[in-house]
Structure 1
Amino acid sequence: MDELEYDSTRLRQWRSGQARGFSRRTFLALTGAASAALAGVPSPARAAAEARPGAAAVPHPGARPGAAAGAGPIVKALPPELFKVFGTNAETRWPALKDVGYHVPVDRFFVRNHTSTPLIDSATWALEVFGAGLRGGPRTFSLADLRRLPPVTRSVTVECAGNGRGYFTSQQGQTVSGTAWGLGAVGVGRWRGVRLSTVLRHAGIGRHAVDVQASGLDATFVTGGVDLGPVRRPLPVGKALDDVILAYEMNGAPLPPDHGYPVRLIVPSWIGIASIKWVGRIEVSDVPLFSPWNTQFYRLFGPEFPAEGLPFDRQSIKSAFELDPGAAFPAGKPVRLTGRSWSAAGRIRRVEVSTDGGTTWRRARFTGPSLDAAWQRWELDWRPAAGDHVLLARATDVRGNTQPDVARFNTLGYLFDAAVRVPVTATGPA
């Protein structure tokens, strides 16, 4: 159930040769590329983050019927007032979330692709559930089959593990590898679907099941000359049977192509890579499963970490203002600052805001409910004097986690959790 404990255990098993699904030979083939990345050459993890702009979206070998090529890396419109684009990825601009409500609308929800968005025909799509962890043979479910099962709807945060990566460099002066996200690689959606546990029980999951691994129908990921196959990452059976959703709707409508149509995983509290999009196959295994996405990618590397990297914990605590850095306000007039805070560890307990670079702090007012503890909206009234100012917001969750002044450095720039410094200006008479 705990991501860090599970990931640590799987890494030890993989290093001792208990590998199934990702060989040590493949790992060694990638090691040189990863080492080069620390010297400034793009690594597999960076390549996975930035992918290939314009890469063709073709179904992976053996994909279920229904996988088809997309027209480009991202299908939906990406107007500059809503998004900052990084090749196959698109970050939400925070001013675009002001006054839009609790859930992020589809037209401004961030996009994280390893390659390109596939266009899939739901009429021919099918989900294959297979593996030695089932009591019988494989089972196949159509979209209509899933819709006939008892539905569940939850507000869940989906956040890229590298969200905030750019601030390691711009705020802390540290060089990191990967897409230079601001804080916009996060979104809260209202996801409707069927519990993964319901589907697994209909498929005949056995008591001997150990791991569950979903695979996407997007193009296979190739790095360092090695085809790593479809994006996939295992879950322990305990997590799979707990709160994971096979979602087919987002914000009350069918999933859009860029967000996993026709069906995706939603894995609450775990880093975004766990919420596999465009799911076509789910393996239920009676032995530990491994993939590049839990052995080679999504690990903490750097001077204070072991050479093989430290396994990830769940995402960290963050806060964001609903404005762009450099925003201008009229001096001497009331301004209402708004923002959102979130934590994978639970509900936000308080948010403090500084308008003077961290010298003094005031408590922000919460606005609206925190649906399913996905995040909390807040506001603070301010009357700025003429001149330059630095805004900061820091949150504390119900478990006592508070945003630090400095995030823990790692060379791939994961889990940035420090309070972000946001420069603004007040113009006109004081």
Structure 2
Amino acid sequence: MPSVPPPEAAYDRMRLRQWAHGTARSAGIERRDLLRLVAAASVAAPLAGLATPAQAASATATAPGIVKPLPPEVFTVRGTNAETNFAALRETGLLTPAERFFVRNHTVTPRIAAADWRLRVWGDGLKGPAVEFTYDELRALPSVTRTSFVECAGNARSYYATQQGQPVSGTAWTLGAIGTARWRGVRLADVLRRAGITRHAVDVLPRGLDGEVVSDGINLGHVRRPLPVAKALDDVLLAYEMNGEPLPPDHGHPVRLIVPSWVGIANIKWVGDIEVSAQPLVSPWNTALYRLFGPGYPAEGSAPLTRQTLKSAFELAPGAEFPAHRRQLLTGRSWSGGAPVRAVEVSTDGGTRWRRARLRDEPRSGSWVRWSADWVPGARGPAVLLARATDRSGRTQPNVAVHNTQGYLFDAVVRHEVRVV
């Protein structure tokens, strides 16, 4: 059994020091290339794609590499990604159907047959040699089910530019790079223990089977990001089902990680191998990417991002129209990676007055809560709707998000502009 690992905050600070001092091992990429990427990450740029596929032969004209249909009333295509339009969630219930779940791809969706898939667990943090699991062997292990949201760290990134006038790099998400599903699978802890994890293990590095990623002319390799042993042995799943069905290709078939409440990049899709290391590990996805850069942060960036932040969204299309003097039911969703949402407030006059919304779900850790509020629009013309959440830790969405060059973890109240007619 591993010794008791450090808590999350201590782990984050420790990894930041180890990266800065060069004592963490770069997993699959030269340190000099990581330093080049860090230097580029510290400079904000116009919103765009951060990375390009190493091979784009299967790309399509509208959504490179995405398998499922992307009807425009449901999705906004953003490069290799597809953002869910929040208005399309209004009638979906607590869980997001797979056909409406956002897609975040670094390259293209691979097509992997479950019968051919193998999970290799290896590394110097194990007692012995590598251990392999087939799909059937994994499914034969005791299963658990968790309802959890998956959210890109850059969700709502575009509002740094549109609301705060601050330049950032990356995909111009609004609020739809999130979805909540019921995931079924095997505890990662059970797999690691069967593989022989030792008390010397400090990091667990899952790696995806999608194509290698190229950014700024540097081949970053396959998507991979280390987890601290504390998290890996806690609530992480190796999931093979989504909402009661086998994972669809775009969402990780045959097996993916689900890391509740953590940023989306931790939830590696199409997992093919897991390194268990007795040394601290770093990869591009916790050094140059998925750290905070900019004024107020160290030159090497913040500690790697872990928990998601606090957000709220109306289930409305931008510019939606409402008839004057007729009662309307406003609906939306709020969520937090830190603690269950405790309360949601809504303003229909641009923030002058606030009132409580009605919560439609029991707030739970790792999931969102749906809410509603009545509104009788008054004078015709433009109007601004606002929603802000408070979670059980006491945190409330601020009016302004703290800027970082890559536009991660936007948590400010979003201005939703509509029109009264």
TM range (shorter): over 0.9
* Aligned equivalent of 1:11: 16
Deviates more, 1:96-105 or 1:379-388: 379-388
Are the aligned partners of 1:155 and 1:371 in contact in 2 as well (CA < 8 Å)? no
Match status 1:24 vs 2:31: yes
Partner of 1:8, secondary structure, is: helix
Deviation digits for residues 144-199 of structure 1, max 9, x if unmatched? 01111110000011100000000111111111111110000011110000000011
Distance 1:39 1:101, change over 3 A: closer
Distance in 2 (alpha carbons) for counterparts of 1:138 and 1:186? 35
Residue type at the aligned position of 1:394: R
Distance in 1 (alpha carbons) for counterparts of 2:45 and 2:244? 46
* Aligned equivalent of 1:424: 418
Residue type at the aligned position of 1:243: D
Deviation digits for residues 9-39 of structure 1, max 9, x if unmatched? 112112222232243222234355446x536
**CA positional deviation for 1:267:** 0.4
Are the aligned partners of 2:349 and 2:384 in contact in 1 as well (CA < 8 Å)? yes
Distance 1:39 1:336, change over 3 A: closer
Distance 1:57 1:309, change over 3 A: farther
Are the aligned partners of 1:57 and 1:118 in contact in 2 as well (CA < 8 Å)? no
Deviation digits for residues 21-72 of structure 1, max 9, x if unmatched? 243222234355446x536697xxx523xx34982479xxxxxxxxxxxx94
Residue type at the aligned position of 1:240: A
* Aligned equivalent of 2:393: 399
Deviation digits for residues 351-382 of structure 1, max 9, x if unmatched? 00000000000100011333555011100011
User: How many residue pairs align between the two structures?
Assistant: 409
* Aligned equivalent of 2:334: 341
Which of the residues 241, 244, 264 maps onto 2:233?
241
Are the aligned partners of 2:47 and 2:171 in contact in 1 as well (CA < 8 Å)? no
Are the aligned partners of 1:318 and 1:403 in contact in 2 as well (CA < 8 Å)? yes
Are the aligned partners of 1:57 and 1:117 in contact in 2 as well (CA < 8 Å)? no
Residue type at the aligned position of 1:47: L
Partner of 1:339, secondary structure, is: strand
Deviation digits for residues 307-346 of structure 1, max 9, x if unmatched? 2111235211000000012100111111000000000011
Instruction: State the superposition RMSD in angstroms.
Output: 1.9
Distance in 2 (alpha carbons) for counterparts of 1:154 and 1:194? 11
Distance 1:56 1:156, change over 3 A: farther
* Aligned equivalent of 1:55: 56
Partner of 2:18, secondary structure, is: helix
Distance in 1 (alpha carbons) for counterparts of 2:311 and 2:250? 25
Distance in 1 (alpha carbons) for counterparts of 2:405 and 2:343? 31
Match status 1:315 vs 2:308: yes
**CA positional deviation for 1:426:** 1.5
Distance 1:390 1:263, change over 3 A: same
Structure 2 unaligned regions, length at least 5: 1-5
Distance 1:122 1:57, change over 3 A: farther
Distance in 1 (alpha carbons) for counterparts of 2:373 and 2:346? 8
Distance 1:56 1:199, change over 3 A: farther
Query: Structure 2 matches for 1:169-248, cutoff 5 A?
Result: 169-248=161-240
Partner of 1:215, secondary structure, is: strand
Distance 1:5 1:111, change over 3 A: farther
Distance 1:395 1:31, change over 3 A: closer
Which of the residues 156, 159, 169 maps onto 2:151?
159
Are the aligned partners of 1:154 and 1:372 in contact in 2 as well (CA < 8 Å)? no
Distance in 1 (alpha carbons) for counterparts of 2:372 and 2:191? 42
* Aligned equivalent of 2:91: 99
Distance in 2 (alpha carbons) for counterparts of 1:100 and 1:313? 28
Q: Percent identity?
A: 61
Which of the residues 377, 380, 388 maps onto 2:382?
388
Distance 1:57 1:153, change over 3 A: farther
**CA positional deviation for 1:280:** 0.1
Query: Structure 2 matches for 1:37-186, cutoff 5 A?
Result: 37-38=43-44, 46-48=49-51, 51-52=52-53, 55-56=56-57, 72-186=64-178
Are the aligned partners of 2:54 and 2:213 in contact in 1 as well (CA < 8 Å)? no
Distance in 1 (alpha carbons) for counterparts of 2:189 and 2:331? 38
Distance 1:400 1:192, change over 3 A: same
Are the aligned partners of 1:3 and 1:314 in contact in 2 as well (CA < 8 Å)? no
Are the aligned partners of 2:261 and 2:366 in contact in 1 as well (CA < 8 Å)? no
Distance 1:396 1:180, change over 3 A: same
* Aligned equivalent of 1:63: none
Distance in 2 (alpha carbons) for counterparts of 1:125 and 1:53? 22
Partner of 2:166, secondary structure, is: coil
Distance 1:253 1:372, change over 3 A: farther
Residue type at the aligned position of 1:181: W
Distance in 2 (alpha carbons) for counterparts of 1:384 and 1:19? 57
Residue type at the aligned position of 2:254: P
Are the aligned partners of 1:57 and 1:218 in contact in 2 as well (CA < 8 Å)? no
Distance 1:320 1:374, change over 3 A: same
Which of the residues 238, 251, 258 maps onto 2:243?
251
Distance in 2 (alpha carbons) for counterparts of 1:188 and 1:359? 32
